[in-house]
Structure 1
Protein backbone atom coordinates (compact mmCIF):
# COMPACT_ATOMS: atom_id res chain seq x y z
CA UNK A 1 0.00 0.00 0.00
CA UNK A 2 2.84 2.39 0.72
CA UNK A 3 4.09 1.94 -2.84
CA UNK A 4 0.79 3.32 -4.13
CA UNK A 5 1.55 6.59 -2.39
CA UNK A 6 4.98 6.67 -4.02
CA UNK A 7 3.42 6.11 -7.43
CA UNK A 8 1.07 9.01 -6.77
CA UNK A 9 3.99 11.34 -6.13
CA UNK A 10 6.10 10.13 -9.07
CA UNK A 11 3.61 9.35 -11.80
CA UNK A 12 0.47 11.46 -11.30
CA UNK A 13 2.12 14.86 -11.95
CA UNK A 14 3.31 13.60 -15.34
CA UNK A 15 -0.27 12.99 -16.48
CA UNK A 16 -1.63 16.47 -15.89
CA UNK A 17 -0.82 19.58 -17.94
CA UNK A 18 1.11 22.43 -16.39
CA UNK A 19 -1.95 24.66 -16.18
CA UNK A 20 -3.84 22.19 -13.99
CA UNK A 21 -1.11 20.00 -12.51
CA UNK A 22 -1.60 21.21 -8.93
CA UNK A 23 -5.35 20.60 -9.05
CA UNK A 24 -4.97 17.20 -10.66
CA UNK A 25 -2.33 16.13 -8.16
CA UNK A 26 -4.52 17.38 -5.30
CA UNK A 27 -7.42 15.31 -6.65
CA UNK A 28 -5.26 12.18 -6.80
CA UNK A 29 -4.15 12.79 -3.20
CA UNK A 30 -7.78 13.37 -2.14
CA UNK A 31 -8.88 10.05 -3.60
CA UNK A 32 -5.95 8.33 -1.88
CA UNK A 33 -6.88 9.94 1.44
CA UNK A 34 -10.49 8.83 1.09
CA UNK A 35 -9.22 5.29 0.51
CA UNK A 36 -7.09 5.55 3.64
CA UNK A 37 -10.10 6.72 5.64
CA UNK A 38 -12.13 3.72 4.42
CA UNK A 39 -9.55 1.11 5.48
CA UNK A 40 -10.66 0.78 9.14
CA UNK A 41 -14.30 0.43 8.12
CA UNK A 42 -13.52 -2.20 5.50
CA UNK A 43 -11.34 -4.07 7.98
CA UNK A 44 -14.07 -4.02 10.64
CA UNK A 45 -16.82 -5.23 8.32
CA UNK A 46 -14.78 -7.91 6.55
CA UNK A 47 -13.17 -9.22 9.75
CA UNK A 48 -16.59 -10.01 11.15
CA UNK A 49 -16.94 -12.77 8.51
CA UNK A 50 -13.57 -14.49 8.97
CA UNK A 51 -10.29 -13.70 10.70
CA UNK A 52 -8.34 -13.97 7.42
CA UNK A 53 -10.79 -12.03 5.23
CA UNK A 54 -9.28 -8.57 5.68
CA UNK A 55 -5.83 -9.81 4.64
CA UNK A 56 -7.34 -11.49 1.59
CA UNK A 57 -9.24 -8.34 0.58
CA UNK A 58 -6.22 -6.06 0.85
CA UNK A 59 -3.96 -8.63 -0.80
CA UNK A 60 -6.35 -8.90 -3.74
CA UNK A 61 -6.53 -5.10 -3.93
CA UNK A 62 -2.74 -4.94 -4.18
CA UNK A 63 -2.62 -7.60 -6.87
CA UNK A 64 -5.39 -5.88 -8.83
CA UNK A 65 -3.58 -2.55 -8.57
CA UNK A 66 -0.35 -4.06 -9.83
CA UNK A 67 -2.17 -5.60 -12.80
CA UNK A 68 -3.84 -2.29 -13.67
CA UNK A 69 -0.47 -0.53 -13.86
CA UNK A 70 0.02 -2.01 -17.32
CA UNK A 71 -2.93 0.05 -18.61
CA UNK A 72 -1.37 3.37 -17.60
CA UNK A 73 0.18 5.37 -20.44
CA UNK A 74 3.95 5.41 -20.90
CA UNK A 75 5.56 8.76 -20.07
CA UNK A 76 9.23 7.89 -20.44
CA UNK A 77 11.19 10.38 -22.58
CA UNK A 78 8.05 12.42 -23.28
CA UNK A 79 7.90 16.11 -22.39
CA UNK A 80 5.42 17.18 -19.75
CA UNK A 81 2.19 18.49 -21.29
CA UNK A 82 1.65 22.21 -20.93
CA UNK A 83 -2.02 22.58 -21.98
CA UNK A 84 -5.10 20.38 -22.15
CA UNK A 85 -4.68 20.25 -25.92
CA UNK A 86 -1.26 18.69 -25.39
CA UNK A 87 -2.83 15.97 -23.24
CA UNK A 88 -5.52 15.28 -25.84
CA UNK A 89 -2.90 15.13 -28.57
CA UNK A 90 -0.76 12.74 -26.56
CA UNK A 91 -3.58 10.28 -26.07
CA UNK A 92 -4.68 10.49 -29.70
CA UNK A 93 -1.09 9.99 -30.81
CA UNK A 94 -1.28 13.05 -33.04
CA UNK A 95 1.92 14.49 -31.66
CA UNK A 96 5.11 15.03 -33.50
CA UNK A 97 8.26 16.47 -32.05
CA UNK A 98 8.49 20.23 -32.13
CA UNK A 99 10.10 21.80 -35.15
CA UNK A 100 11.54 25.25 -35.72
CA UNK A 101 9.14 28.12 -35.23
CA UNK A 102 6.63 26.29 -33.06
CA UNK A 103 4.95 28.18 -30.26
CA UNK A 104 5.33 25.34 -27.79
CA UNK A 105 8.76 23.76 -27.65
CA UNK A 106 7.35 20.44 -26.44
CA UNK A 107 4.36 19.84 -28.73
CA UNK A 108 3.14 20.72 -32.18
CA UNK A 109 -0.45 19.84 -33.07
CA UNK A 110 -0.96 17.90 -36.28
CA UNK A 111 -3.58 20.18 -37.85
CA UNK A 112 -4.68 17.64 -40.45
CA UNK A 113 -5.31 14.98 -37.81
CA UNK A 114 -7.32 17.45 -35.72
CA UNK A 115 -9.50 18.25 -38.74
CA UNK A 116 -10.13 14.53 -39.31
CA UNK A 117 -11.16 14.08 -35.66
CA UNK A 118 -13.57 17.02 -35.90
CA UNK A 119 -15.18 15.54 -39.03
CA UNK A 120 -15.89 12.20 -37.38
Structure 2
Protein backbone atom coordinates (compact mmCIF):
# COMPACT_ATOMS: atom_id res chain seq x y z
CA UNK A 1 0.00 0.00 0.00
CA UNK A 2 2.88 2.36 0.76
CA UNK A 3 4.37 1.56 -2.64
CA UNK A 4 1.16 2.51 -4.43
CA UNK A 5 1.02 5.76 -2.48
CA UNK A 6 4.64 6.55 -3.42
CA UNK A 7 3.91 5.84 -7.08
CA UNK A 8 0.90 8.18 -6.99
CA UNK A 9 2.99 10.93 -5.39
CA UNK A 10 5.73 10.41 -7.97
CA UNK A 11 3.25 10.66 -10.84
CA UNK A 12 2.04 14.02 -9.52
CA UNK A 13 5.61 15.25 -9.13
CA UNK A 14 6.22 14.58 -12.83
CA UNK A 15 3.32 16.90 -13.62
CA UNK A 16 4.44 19.64 -11.22
CA UNK A 17 8.13 19.66 -12.08
CA UNK A 18 7.79 19.34 -15.83
CA UNK A 19 5.06 21.98 -16.10
CA UNK A 20 7.26 24.51 -14.28
CA UNK A 21 10.51 23.68 -16.05
CA UNK A 22 9.45 24.04 -19.66
CA UNK A 23 8.51 27.36 -21.28
CA UNK A 24 4.95 27.78 -22.52
CA UNK A 25 5.73 27.26 -26.20
CA UNK A 26 7.25 23.79 -25.63
CA UNK A 27 5.49 22.80 -22.40
CA UNK A 28 3.19 20.29 -24.09
CA UNK A 29 6.09 18.45 -25.69
CA UNK A 30 8.14 18.56 -22.51
CA UNK A 31 5.38 17.21 -20.29
CA UNK A 32 4.47 14.51 -22.80
CA UNK A 33 8.14 13.46 -23.02
CA UNK A 34 8.28 13.18 -19.22
CA UNK A 35 5.11 11.06 -19.26
CA UNK A 36 6.50 8.88 -22.03
CA UNK A 37 9.67 8.19 -20.04
CA UNK A 38 7.62 7.26 -16.99
CA UNK A 39 5.53 4.89 -19.11
CA UNK A 40 8.65 3.27 -20.58
CA UNK A 41 9.88 2.66 -17.06
CA UNK A 42 6.51 1.16 -16.14
CA UNK A 43 6.64 -1.17 -19.14
CA UNK A 44 10.23 -2.23 -18.49
CA UNK A 45 9.83 -2.94 -14.78
CA UNK A 46 8.08 -6.32 -15.16
CA UNK A 47 10.77 -7.53 -17.55
CA UNK A 48 13.50 -6.61 -15.09
CA UNK A 49 11.60 -8.36 -12.33
CA UNK A 50 11.02 -11.54 -14.37
CA UNK A 51 14.36 -11.84 -16.16
CA UNK A 52 16.75 -10.66 -13.49
CA UNK A 53 14.63 -11.83 -10.56
CA UNK A 54 14.63 -15.41 -11.80
CA UNK A 55 18.43 -15.54 -11.62
CA UNK A 56 19.00 -13.32 -8.59
CA UNK A 57 15.92 -12.88 -6.36
CA UNK A 58 17.43 -9.86 -4.59
CA UNK A 59 18.48 -8.00 -7.76
CA UNK A 60 15.15 -6.30 -8.63
CA UNK A 61 15.00 -4.71 -5.18
CA UNK A 62 18.52 -3.37 -5.59
CA UNK A 63 17.91 -2.13 -9.15
CA UNK A 64 14.65 -0.36 -8.32
CA UNK A 65 16.00 1.01 -5.06
CA UNK A 66 19.08 2.46 -6.75
CA UNK A 67 16.94 3.89 -9.56
CA UNK A 68 14.70 5.61 -7.00
CA UNK A 69 17.67 7.02 -5.10
CA UNK A 70 19.28 8.24 -8.33
CA UNK A 71 16.04 9.91 -9.44
CA UNK A 72 15.73 11.61 -6.07
CA UNK A 73 19.31 12.84 -6.20
CA UNK A 74 18.95 14.19 -9.74
CA UNK A 75 15.85 16.11 -8.63
CA UNK A 76 18.08 18.35 -6.52
CA UNK A 77 19.82 19.49 -9.71
CA UNK A 78 16.60 20.98 -11.09
CA UNK A 79 16.43 24.78 -10.96
CA UNK A 80 14.45 26.46 -8.19
CA UNK A 81 11.27 28.08 -9.57
CA UNK A 82 9.76 29.40 -6.33
CA UNK A 83 8.87 33.08 -6.63
CA UNK A 84 9.86 33.29 -10.30
CA UNK A 85 7.67 34.05 -13.29
CA UNK A 86 7.39 31.01 -15.53
CA UNK A 87 9.04 31.59 -18.93
CA UNK A 88 6.89 31.97 -22.03
CA UNK A 89 9.55 31.34 -24.65
CA UNK A 90 12.79 29.43 -24.90
CA UNK A 91 14.63 32.77 -25.12
CA UNK A 92 13.16 33.82 -21.75
CA UNK A 93 14.27 30.51 -20.27
CA UNK A 94 17.83 30.91 -21.54
CA UNK A 95 18.05 34.50 -20.30
CA UNK A 96 16.81 33.64 -16.80
CA UNK A 97 19.31 33.41 -13.97
CA UNK A 98 19.55 29.81 -12.85
CA UNK A 99 19.09 29.15 -9.17
CA UNK A 100 19.22 25.56 -8.08
CA UNK A 101 17.66 23.93 -5.05
CA UNK A 102 18.84 24.83 -1.56
CA UNK A 103 20.80 21.61 -1.20
CA UNK A 104 22.91 22.37 -4.27
CA UNK A 105 23.14 26.12 -3.69
CA UNK A 106 26.65 26.76 -2.43
CA UNK A 107 26.44 30.51 -2.96
CA UNK A 108 24.28 31.04 0.13
CA UNK A 109 27.15 29.67 2.24
CA UNK A 110 29.70 32.17 0.92
CA UNK A 111 30.90 34.96 3.15
CA UNK A 112 29.92 38.53 2.14
CA UNK A 113 33.52 39.19 1.02
CA UNK A 114 33.44 36.21 -1.34
CA UNK A 115 30.12 37.37 -2.81
CA UNK A 116 31.55 40.82 -3.55
CA UNK A 117 34.49 39.32 -5.46
CA UNK A 118 32.20 37.39 -7.78
TM-score of the aligned structures, taking structure 1 as reference length = 0.70
Structure 2 residue aligned with 1:46? 52
- What 5-or-longer segments of structure 2 have no aligned partner? 1-5, 99-118
Question: In the alignment, what sits opposite 1:62?
Answer: 68
| Corresponding residue number in structure 2 for 1:77 | 83
Structure 1: gaps spanning 5 or more residues: 95-120
Q: Which runs of 4+ in 1 moved over 4 A?
A: none
In structure 2, how many angstroms separate the alpha carbons of the residues matched to 1:14 and 1:67?
A: 19
Q: Which has the larger radius of gyration?
A: 1
Paired position in structure 2 for 1:8: 14
Report the number of matched residues: 92
Say if 2:24 is the partner of 1:36: no
> What is the RMSD of the two structures over their aligned residues, measured on CA atoms?
1.6
1:27 aligns to 2:27 (yes or no):
no
Normalised by the length of structure 2, the TM-score is 0.71
Q: Separation in 2 of the partners of 1:51 and 1:4?
A: 25
Q: Quote how far apart the aligned CAs of 1:63 are.
A: 1.2
Q: Deviation digits for residues 65-85 of structure 1, max 9, x if unmatched? A: 111111111111111110010
